[in-house]
Amino acid sequence: MAGRIADRYRAGRVFLAGDAAHQLPPTRGGFGANTGIDDVWNLSWKLAAVIAGVADTTLLDSYDAERRPVGWLRHQQTFSRPDYAHWAPPSFVPETLIAPEAMEFGQLYRSSAVIGAGPDLPAAAIPEAWAGQPGTRAPHVWERGIVGARSTLDLFGRGYVLLSANPAWAALSAQCSISAVFVGDDFHFPQEQPFDAVYGVINAGATLVRPDGVIAWRSQALPDACAEASIRRLASARG
């Protein structure tokens, strides 16, 4: 039973993903196949942005920075589990186990494509614990209206999206050429799951979600020059 992780996921114009980047044994948490699928999801939108000329090639550096630590985390978690421990070499030091739901839905990305994911944060946690932390998946919340159910996740996938409860962000989002979704107008959060609690953003602020549904940045203040600079840098991977 083997486990191998490539030393790097990128060499110039060559990128490794899936089984070419990591060999992980099958586990009850689905760490193997899901890891490869997430590799491609992470890389595909970045390649598309660079090829389309809307992002600098430096955005591609974030692929290795984000995905290789996840590969190593899943390698360590696999062989730390009792049913795989006997396959590990004598030098292996087991790590504290992380719940499968945290591994699959609560992993943290740290890279130049995220602002606000510091080294003090854990590598993974259950989604509810993150509450909109940059570098993690945008929280899923159902909106229920007369036309049926819609999730916050349906808002993302085509480009960067600015999510806020304050229309003061409309002008800045237009200036930065990114879509904006306003809570209360474009999307209605249920009372038991208010926007500020689920996404960790007060009514003055906003959160920026990447095309892959990962939170890139958030602010608790009204739009200003610093917010504009952050959004422009992330949305174009420049500067």
SS3 state at 218? strand
CA distance 179 to 162: 6
* Pair of tokens at residue 28: 């009850």
In this prediction, residue 239 carries a pLDDT of 37
pLDDT per position as a tens digit, 185-228:
999 999 999 999 999 999 899 999 999 999 999 999 999 999 99
148 pLDDT exceeds 70?
no
163 pLDDT exceeds 80?
yes
Residues 6+ apart with CB under 8 A from 174: 180
* Pair of tokens at residue 184: 């209360």
- Average pLDDT, rounded, for the chain: 91
The class (CATH top level) of 142-236 is alpha beta
Residues 6+ apart with CB under 8 A from 54: 236
Give mean pLDDT, residues 88-117. Answer: 92
Pick the CATH number of 4-97 from 3.50.50.60, 3.40.50.880, 3.10.20.30, 3.20.20.70: 3.50.50.60
Residues 6+ apart with CB under 8 A from 19: 36
Neighbours of 162 (CB within 10 A): 24
